[in-house]
Chain A
């Protein structure tokens, strides 16, 4: 394998790993499982911005 191909392979694996980390973080973000029932401790979005 030439140096060029090695470089392409290694950088590709690294880029894929970073993308997979991003996907994992996105899926595991606690906001994904937020409970938006009205009786939650506080509402979100507009509510936090506007103080309620």
Chain B
């Protein structure tokens, strides 16, 4: 078969280019191979640990004078829905610790079956200076856990795991208990939450020293956020900062972070930018509610124990329980939706309204123009 001379001339440089690329690729793989192998080996040999961080409502908070005054004020001066909100807060005082207790029981039962270490932190444990730890293949032990000094805020001291300092201390204590590095963690954070807060108590408002008339006015007006009502705890940005520090300080990477709270999706591009590189999967409730006890922990842990890779089991089961589980890129898509949702709906209809007005104007002014036009010459 004859070929054109020109094509042979063009084929030679192309072939050389391919050969060159092949050579560069081979040299690159040869040079980077040991490094890549080392990195993969590190991931492969990473010690897996499931960390449960349960920021439940405590008896100290529920039995405080703050709660008593607030519930009373809501029932008397809270308006039409005040009593319902008061009932919700009162119910949470029993439901929240009960749900956390059930989740802890499920985790304890999975000790020995789950191919990972398990570290369990709750407010009740932290306030008694301990946490639970299960080393893979052995039983559960209770170990000492000393948190940071008390905060200046009494609300936070009644639910200490709301504080970022406690999360930092819990991760540090977990790293010490695991005793190996690197660590691949699955972090399950159960808390009350809001669009900005990752960890917070059920009641942030501190009204113990508040003038009753100020509270009454606040309940009636329901506008603005006075100082005494500022949400307290760990913001979503703070949470990622703590996880980034855990990576730097303890060689910890997070295969999955489950923010088990209402409105736990990413809130802003600033938060997205703060997510450290050492986080792979993020499970969240987007902008939706999360009724207490919705997550079936026995099923979740059974799925993780049955899977070849526990992380895959967690991800698949959380997804099947209606939780959004996103990687970093999918999270960005979600953020676009968040920003679009923040635009008032009526603005989307303005262009159509303007177009209809313009059309109407054109229809009305059209015939006038034709009548006023000069007659064409014959």
A residues engaging B (CB < 8 A)? 8, 11-12, 14-16, 18-19, 21-23, 25-26, 29-31, 33-43, 45-52
Contacts and interface: CB of A to CB of B under 8 A. Distances in A.
A46 B85 contact: yes
A14 B95 CA distance: 50
Nearest to A33: B288
Interface of B: 70, 78, 81, 84-85, 87-89, 91-92, 95, 191-194, 200, 202-206, 218-219, 222-226, 228-232, 261-262, 286-292, 337, 340-341, 343, 345, 347-349, 351-352, 354-355, 358-359, 362
Contacts of A39: 88, 91-92, 95, 291-292
Given A22-B345, A41-B193, A42-B262, A52 B205 contact: yes
Contacts of A43: 85, 88-89
B348 A18 contact: yes
B347 A30 contact: no
A26 B344 CA distance: 9
A47 B348 contact: no
Contacts of A34: 288-289
A51 B87 CA distance: 16
A49 B223 CA distance: 7
Given A8-B359, A51-B203, A40 B223 contact: no
Contacts of B194: 42, 48
Nearest to B82: A46
Contacts of B206: 51
Contacts of A47: 85
A29 B341 contact: yes
B87 A38 contact: yes
B88 A38 contact: yes
A43 B193 CA distance: 10
A2 to B, nearest CB: 12
A29 B358 CA distance: 31
B222 A41 contact: no
6 nearest A-B pairs in the assembled complex, by CB-CB distance: A22-B348, A38-B88, A51-B229, A51-B205, A51-B204, A15-B351
